[in-house]
Structure 1
């Protein structure tokens, strides 16, 4: 089934069309037959992938890029109000639609599984997309990262399921009406939006309240913030709640988790909600780390809640081999492996560092870290430094500002100081172009180099490999 295109989305213009979230929506609309156009600050593989399926992509932002017959202008929270295309849209009376509104419109008429949480959304959504596709269910999906190639972050499938990341950073996940929702964890982040952890919990409560009648909330039984959310929801009318984890009271209980190099094997005890009675299922997770195994269990619980047979889905989840920038091997040179990580919050950073250390084969773990956002660094810089102390050595870059203006006095030095206070070997390096030489000077055969952060640090991997090969 191919849902009809909403009239406002027949000829949309995306400002920032190359972004992870925006490009996925643009791809789905193009696949459904909309005449999609947009602009981005610079050309990219993602822009090329969109052009290849028929979208028009302009480089740079200018009023002339906005077609005379555009039916809507789609923006994300990162787009500034003085953007010339946005200003032109307002002047011409063209409706301006937030990215989340456009995504919600694409979900209409489909059974949605929405994945939320402070960490792990992209991986869990990807696992579900891959697993459901492997079972021949042809889901539609929108992911905040590519699976295996540029443009693979979204698909318009023929099935009745739609799997989507639900972003809490700007409260936009309040616009969705899922049949099944996952909450992986709840921690304080996105400090420009939320002033306290209580505000975060209230926001996730609102998200849970948006689940359709008769639907299900799948929530982590082991993480403190998620357990608090479950307690806050207890005793009220709303969705069925299914918990997962190692806790004795978890509905989908992890009874064994065995790391095996860069994979793991997990055994879960199901509560019989799928009609099969209480029983255990063991399956392989083809990516490293305890946190990724937990993501797979959450995906399994959500799929079962949507009516997918547990045994078949468990096997299908093992076909997931990773998403780009989620512990992605970029290559090897002179005996040094380069792996890329999107981790930018201290919890994510520590989890990825612990996962990778298990596959280091006796070599050292070296990290090139780029902090993301001034506000996040101000609030969590000390914890970032503590996480980096898990590495044998690290190089810390300047803060990647993304959508933010600088905050006086906030620099990556706070991370450097905290890492050193925890005994870390830290090299601050404000010049990104110098990093390949720095890494080449300290990396040796058997070492793992992890480029880490949500900014453009990912571009350094190929450059480090080239320098090592030279």
Structure 2
């Protein structure tokens, strides 16, 4: 398919974080863009303000007439149900209908592509890399699975020759991509509802890694069963961050590279996992030829990604942090960062599990991770795309958690329960609609300061 011959792009599920950055991209390169989504959100409002027509009822009559003609590309999200009438209209009338991953594959085939893969860390790593390349003057577009604070957008740049993409393992989407340089941040088991076994996930990552024939262009952590350039913090590898210290709330560190030692890099995001993400981005930018000074300057100015250890309140007597963590490994990373920054303070975590299948598959690991916090409020499971699984609920998970100060709470009672706590550090965690409660929680807490 030749994108140059496409005049109109219609999105079914335009408000998703991954779909909306594609919509912005096609708008930027001069295509007519419109779409459907189930509900209005802040993202759909921003898209409408940019001139994109969006409606919120599954109704073929609401599709703009300009999009019912040839040279229209239709992009769907995997979340769309098979009986969706607009989707079936386009299929029945022989339109070009593609999954988002397939379209990213087409775009990356015609550009120099950086692909960031891994069960955790994709969004932060690709954001840092996109920011470094953009700030260094590269002709780049970075498609990000979160809102980057520096740009208040999930799209960085409007370049036509270089792309940065998150290589998503869900539904094996990353196998559509055409990467020139890639990294794999982790290969933990996840999405077992799709893959079935952890071995199947590993096989899929190996297949992705094989897309990079020149292994000097594939960056990996030291624990992965792959050939590539190793990257690590405080352990021997090809790229190593060492002499790590905290100065005025930021990490300052040195880097061992194949070309020598780089001194005094500064990075403002807390947590060793974020330091690792930064190092992956630095290694990829360095092998591409980005000047060291430009890398260091951009890294120091990176402000982070919304819902990735995002400070909502940061005062002497109260800290409120929000994070998207929805896997035990990610929760452990949040806990590590909080303990490193606030070793003597009481920490309250509010967690909303995401997916019945993930809760079932990793129940013991979730229990171990959540037991580490001083106090825990556990919400009901956010179902997302799933139907309930008998016997799998938050009460079942709560019983596995070894924490004397744990409680199951309904969504409508969250704020009241938070205000009853004497914790000095509060963390909301999860990938469901807990993110929509952050503003209300912040407002309620601000009134107590």
Q: What is the TM-score normalised by the length of structure 1?
A: 0.88
1:43 aligns with 2:44: no
The corresponding residue for 1:7 is: 5
The corresponding residue for 1:441 is: 420
1:205 aligns with 2:186: no
In the TM superposition, residue 67 of structure 1 has moved relative to its aligned partner by 3.4
The corresponding residue for 1:93 is: 94
The corresponding residue for 2:345 is: 363
In the TM superposition, residue 43 of structure 1 has moved relative to its aligned partner by 1.0
Query: What is the rounded CA distance, in whole Å, between the counterparts of 1:310 and 1:200 in structure 2?
Result: 35
Query: What is the rounded CA distance, in whole Å, between the counterparts of 2:210 and 2:386 in structure 1?
Result: 31
Q: Is the 8 A contact 2:119 2:186 kept in 1?
A: yes
- Look up the SS of the partner of 1:462 in the other structure: helix
Query: What is the rounded CA distance, in whole Å, between the counterparts of 2:230 and 2:315 in structure 1?
Result: 44
The corresponding residue for 1:462 is: 439
- Look up the SS of the partner of 2:80 in the other structure: coil
Query: What is the rounded CA distance, in whole Å, between the counterparts of 1:136 and 1:177 in structure 2?
Result: 23
Query: What is the rounded CA distance, in whole Å, between the counterparts of 1:385 and 1:156 in structure 2?
Result: 41
Trace 1:383-394 onto structure 2 (pairs within 5 A): 383-394=365-376
The corresponding residue for 2:73 is: 72
- Look up the SS of the partner of 1:408 in the other structure: coil
Query: What is the rounded CA distance, in whole Å, between the counterparts of 2:385 and 2:358 in structure 1?
Result: 12
- Which of the numbers 370, 373, 398 marks the counterpart of 2:355? 373
Query: What is the rounded CA distance, in whole Å, between the counterparts of 1:284 and 1:114 in structure 2?
Result: 24
Query: What is the rounded CA distance, in whole Å, between the counterparts of 1:348 and 1:14 in structure 2?
Result: 31
Question: Structure 1: which 5+ residue stretches go unaligned?
Answer: 231-240, 273-277
The corresponding residue for 1:234 is: none
- Which of the numbers 281, 290, 293 marks the counterpart of 1:308? 290
- Which of the numbers 245, 248, 252 marks the counterpart of 2:239? 252
Query: What is the rounded CA distance, in whole Å, between the counterparts of 2:312 and 2:235 in structure 1?
Result: 39
In the TM superposition, residue 334 of structure 1 has moved relative to its aligned partner by 10
1:16 aligns with 2:16: no
Query: What is the rounded CA distance, in whole Å, between the counterparts of 2:48 and 2:415 in structure 1?
Result: 32
Q: What are the Cα deviations for residues 201-233 of structure 1, in whole angstroms up to 9, with x where unaligned?
A: 211111112236687111111xx3x2x233xxx
The corresponding residue for 2:161 is: 160
Q: What are the Cα deviations for residues 77-106 of structure 1, in whole angstroms up to 9, with x where unaligned?
A: 222211222122222222220001112222
Trace 1:248-397 onto structure 2 (pairs within 5 A): 250-260=237-247, 262-272=249-259, 278-331=260-313, 335-360=317-342, 362-397=344-379
- Which of the numbers 403, 422, 427 marks the counterpart of 1:423? 403
> Please, which moves more after superposition, 71-80 or 180-189?
71-80
In the TM superposition, residue 149 of structure 1 has moved relative to its aligned partner by 7.9
- Look up the SS of the partner of 1:402 in the other structure: coil
In the TM superposition, residue 145 of structure 1 has moved relative to its aligned partner by 0.3
The corresponding residue for 1:58 is: 55
In the TM superposition, residue 248 of structure 1 has moved relative to its aligned partner by 5.7
Q: What are the Cα deviations for residues 103-139 of structure 1, in whole angstroms up to 9, with x where unaligned?
A: 2222243211000001000000011111222222242
In the TM superposition, residue 58 of structure 1 has moved relative to its aligned partner by 1.2
Q: Is the 8 A contact 1:24 1:151 kept in 2?
A: no
Q: Is the 8 A contact 1:129 1:141 kept in 2?
A: yes
The corresponding residue for 1:275 is: none
Q: Is the 8 A contact 1:75 1:97 kept in 2?
A: yes
Query: What is the rounded CA distance, in whole Å, between the counterparts of 2:311 and 2:236 in structure 1?
Result: 37
Q: Is the 8 A contact 1:28 1:156 kept in 2?
A: no
In the TM superposition, residue 466 of structure 1 has moved relative to its aligned partner by 2.9
Query: What is the rounded CA distance, in whole Å, between the counterparts of 2:314 and 2:300 in structure 1?
Result: 25
Aligned residues: 442
Taking a change above 3 Å as real, the CA distance of residues 424 and 15 of structure 1, as seen in their structure-2 partners, is: farther
Q: What are the Cα deviations for residues 48-89 of structure 1, in whole angstroms up to 9, with x where unaligned?
A: 211222211112322223334431321122222112221222
Q: Is the 8 A contact 2:356 2:381 kept in 1?
A: yes
In the TM superposition, residue 171 of structure 1 has moved relative to its aligned partner by 0.4
Taking a change above 3 Å as real, the CA distance of residues 73 and 210 of structure 1, as seen in their structure-2 partners, is: same
The corresponding residue for 1:179 is: 180
Taking a change above 3 Å as real, the CA distance of residues 67 and 156 of structure 1, as seen in their structure-2 partners, is: farther
